[in-house]
Structure 1
Amino acid sequence: MRLEAVPYERRHDYVNWLLLADDSENAVRSYLDYGDLYVIHIEQQIVGVMLFVTLSEHAVELKNMALTENQRGKGIGKKAIEAAVKLYKDNGFKQMNVGTANSSIENLAFYQKAGFRMFSIMKDYFADYDPPVYEHGIHGLDLVMFERKL
């Protein structure tokens, strides 16, 4: 597994990848041009993407992470997180944040297993999503934020 930076002029080629993890194209387009976009490779095949936005001199946010469905549950996501942690730590960052919907049961578990801790909830963050976010019969309204010290 390896991460490869996407040149700025090619990031719009990956909108459909980012939509695997964020149902709102408007939301994806609002952060697409900021931060660092990486493709996740297994051998020569692209299996996912990660987009990071710098929050401060010492903090970065994993804004979007998506893997193809057939690659989930194989440890690739955790390896990609670890590669990103090393990359950002080596560049002087001290903290990585990530957020997910209150309804995203798998993501809530995944990020905790990957060493992140909950630190805040942004109520009604997804309230204006059209169509509304529903997972596991739960209306996704709130954004649960996690952090990991690097």
Structure 2
Amino acid sequence: MTASKLHIKPVTQNRDIPFDLLELADPSRSHINEYLKTGTCYVAKLDTKIVGVLVLDEIDSTRIEIKNIAIVESEQGEGLGKELLRHSEIISRESGYEKLVIATGNSSIGQLALYQKEGFGIKEIDRDFFIRNYTEPIFENGIQCKHKIILEKDLKS
């Protein structure tokens, strides 16, 4: 499948939020519920099938954060995540934000590579964030997820 057929729209009804997808990127339903209170959730569809999700949440008047971004496992590696990431930049720029922020875990090797390839730079590291904020240990790529890596992209250029 090609990414050019991806249709991205905001979720208008809470009952339509794809929690199964959100939980691919964040295993904590309570954390998800917290950022859904203030953020906007978008779904990405190929034809009628939901294949991706994105949550954007304002930090302040100049910065907005991608709180969650995920693609269904069967569609990963097809460029859909990159398209969803680029769409978030368009939404953010059109809304007047100057910076787009995204965070991931130290164990999320593929995501770290993608975000940097897409122009995000590492801004800071919140050491032991996942140990402090999640009751169960998270492992990915054989690595324990301990540290939150915060990346930022300048939208003015």
> Shared topology, TM-score over 0.5?
yes
Moved segments of 4+, more than 4 Å: none
Give the letter for the 1:47 counterpart. V
Going from structure 1 to structure 2, the CA distance change for 1:86 and 1:122 (only over 3 Å counts) comes to same
Aligned to 2:41: 37
Deviations 1:109-146 (A, max 9, x none): 11112221111000111003122011122111110000
Q: How far apart are 1:17 and its partner, in Å?
A: 1.8
Deviations 1:5-49 (A, max 9, x none): 111x42673222210111122221221212111001123221010
Aligned to 2:63: 59
Aligned to 1:138: 143
TM-score of the superposed pair, with normalisation by structure 2: 0.88
Q: CA RMSD in A?
A: 1.4
Give the letter for the 2:124 counterpart. S
Aligned pairs for 1:14-93 within 5 A = 14-93=18-97
Going from structure 1 to structure 2, the CA distance change for 1:95 and 1:27 (only over 3 Å counts) comes to same
State the SS of the aligned residue for 1:33: helix
Give unpaired runs (5+ residues) of structure 2. 1-5
Give unpaired runs (5+ residues) of structure 1. none
Q: Percent identity?
A: 32
Tell me how many residue pairs correspond in the alignment. Answer: 149
Inter-partner Cα distance in structure 1 for 2:21 and 2:37: 15
Give the letter for the 2:141 counterpart. H
